[in-house]
Amino acid sequence: QVQLVESGGGLVQAGDSLTLSCAYSGRTFSSGAMGWFRQAPGKEREFVAAINWSGHSTYYSDAAKGRFTCSRDNAKNTMYLTMNNLKVEDTAIYYCVAHPTGHTFGDIVQAPRNNLNWGQGTQVTVSS
């Protein structure tokens, strides 16, 4: 059974940086694609970033591109989301996801969301 536990959320000011972590347990971490989604108050959950099994390929939403970096350390079974130049509109609950069988970031982007494994989420609040 896959378990994903996010950490690192908090209250920051606009322009600050924050790094989220996602600790993974279950099947072999290094073989699966992973990613991040977020859900702001009153809005639908949206894709943020995805990373392939090796960490060498990533894909970002337009909102995240240029400011966020998704990475992973397969030796530590952990994925990260480093967020720079945070904006008030980045305020959301951030969720870590893992694809049950896929290896590429495309598997995360294209999968029906119910097919992904989800963490419980971590709150990020950006104040002006």
Q: In this predicted structure, what is the pLDDT of residue 117? A: 94
3-class SS of residue 107? helix
Instruction: Tell me the average confidence (pLDDT) per consecutive run of 10 residues in the chain, 128 residues long.
Output: 94 98 83 94 97 96 98 95 98 96 92 94 98
Element holding 97 (H helix, E strand):
strand 92-98
Q: Is 71 exposed, middle or buried (0-12, 13-18, 19+ CB in 10 A)?
A: middle
Phi/psi at 50 (5° precision): -145, 155
Q: In this predicted structure, what is the pLDDT of residue 45? A: 97
